[in-house]
Amino acid sequence: MLQAYAVSDVREAEARLLEETPDGELMRRASRGLADVVAERARQRQVRRVVVLAGPGSNGGDALHAGAVLAGEHDVEVVALAPQLHAGGEEAARSAGVTVHGTDPDGEELPAAVRDLIDAAEVVVDGMLGIGGRPGLSGMMRAAAETVPGTAYVIAVDLPSGADPDGVAAPEHCVVADETVTFGVRKPVHLLPATAPVVGEVTLVDIGLEVGVAPVVERVEHADVAGLWPVPAAGDDKYRRGVLGVIAGSEEFPGAAVLCTTSALEAGVGMVRYLGPERPEGLVLAACPEVVPGRGRIQAMVMGSGVPVTDGETSDRRQIQWFRQALASEVPLVVDAGALQLLGHWQRTGHLRCEAPTLLTPHAGELASLLSELREEEVSREDVEADPVRHARRAARSTGAVVLLKGAVTVIADPDPRVPVRTQADGPHWLATAGSGDVLAGLCGALMAAGVEPRDAGALAALVHGFAAHRANPGGPVRALSVARAVGPAVAALLTG
């Protein structure tokens, strides 16, 4: 499992390690690891030219020392983007024969020779700012970042310069990296939604750092699935494997019921019981003949997918009663789409509160509506998208449920603020398609019916959902039904490695 630690905790751990190691040893470890990564990427791309963008601090020092190591076999040049560079790093680079090009730190335009140098770069090492920097770039640093050509492979040192180290603020002007080489441990910038898109692939270099406190962000990896997925034992029957109730679909959106039930069955649930109007029920049984219509014993419930709610009502009045009964029961719940609207209203008026383990699965617009209802204040979709982690945590605290906020980087927030938030970024952008959320809801429900707690269920479902989308049509567009049908083979591939 990937883990990221608060910047303040990382800085304290680094200070302790500095006291325990010989002078300059940590920078030697970091720069050696960085140089190895840069050399390998240059070899893979069959290029020799490396341009280092160096700032004033330790990140600049790491980049300069790495440049000195690379100089023997690569054409390395440095662009100085601060009045003073790291003294030891600059000395090492110059001693290795590296040319250091100066710039006017107070200017707005790069010297023509420097601009041409960056524009022709094949590999760029971004060592301008580190975790002590503020979000955004200005002046010479911004000019340098904007001059980097799209054809260059950009390797950021610790984080892309200008990105928020805490991963909260979406960067307006920053380096966009293909890869980030970080040291010791990951930081929030590497895993949180606002900044993850500019980080690229993250490569971790071991420098002997131990933080000694809990992480603030986690991410489940493919290697974790085998230890978390509910695999049936020899004596299990369909009831022990989990029976999932599904209240999904409507006369207006019947396909949601098919997608949700198909996904749950592909995920390995023991049995699905379906409650819904006549039209979607017929489609469900035609697509999935193993589904049992009607009520009965269940271990978890998915409700709301494809059920439109207007003024607290649905087109099938029975669904309102089913929702109420489910929310009032002790059965673990996955609450999606239309059921989210009803949950917000009922909780605000004090008529109902989730007592069972519950997972909410909104997208940004649905979360905004839920928060507006719960807190009696206007929250917009744009508000949620600007700070998804904060709003997901607010909803989790207000409802007592785990919140899975869908997006390119999915956020899973626990009601307990001490529990690390989880983020998953496993799917292709093609996955933003109609019905995708219905497939995810079915996956979540199958896992919770098998006894997986909501936080793990949300992270596992998001991972498998994304992995199945990649397998359904690698590199190309996918439809939701193809993703649902790819869930079973995706789970098998993850379990068998």
Structural contact between residues 112 and 136, judged by C-beta atoms closer than 8 angstroms: no
How many whole angstroms separate alpha carbon 49 and alpha carbon 117?
Answer: 10
Q: 247 phi and psi, to 5 degrees?
A: -110, 95
> Is there a binding annotation on residue 406?
yes
Is 203 annotated as ligand-binding?
no
Side chain identity, residue 447: L
In 352-408, beta strands by DSSP E: 358-360, 402-405
Strands 201-205 and 75-80: unpaired
Q: Could you tell me which of 333, 390, 378 has the C-alpha nearest to residue 193?
A: 390
112 is in an annotated binding site: no
Q: Does residue 496 have a known ligand-binding role?
A: no
Q: Is the dihedral of CA 417, 419, 425, 431 positive or negative?
A: negative
Instruction: Please tell me whether 256 is known to bind a ligand.
Output: yes
What is the Cα–Cα distance from 347 to 422, expressed in whole angstroms?
25
Q: Does 356 belong to an annotated binding site?
A: no
Instruction: Report helix, strand or coil for 270.
Output: coil
| 438 is annotated as contributing to ligand binding | yes
Rounded-to-integer distance, Cα 436 and Cα 427, Å: 11
Residues 6+ apart with CB under 8 A from 23: none
Measuring CA to CA, which residue among 112, 116, 48, 60 is closest to residue 84?
Answer: 60
- Answer yes or no: is 222 a known binding residue: no
- What's the distance, Cα to Cα, between the start and end of the chain in Å? 16
- Give the separation between CA 98 and CA 472, rounded to whole angstroms: 48
Residue ranges of the annotated binding site are: 256, 306, 363, 406-410, 437-438
Residue ranges of the annotated binding site for (6S)-NADPHX are: 256, 306, 363, 438
Residue ranges of the annotated binding site for AMP are: 406-410, 437
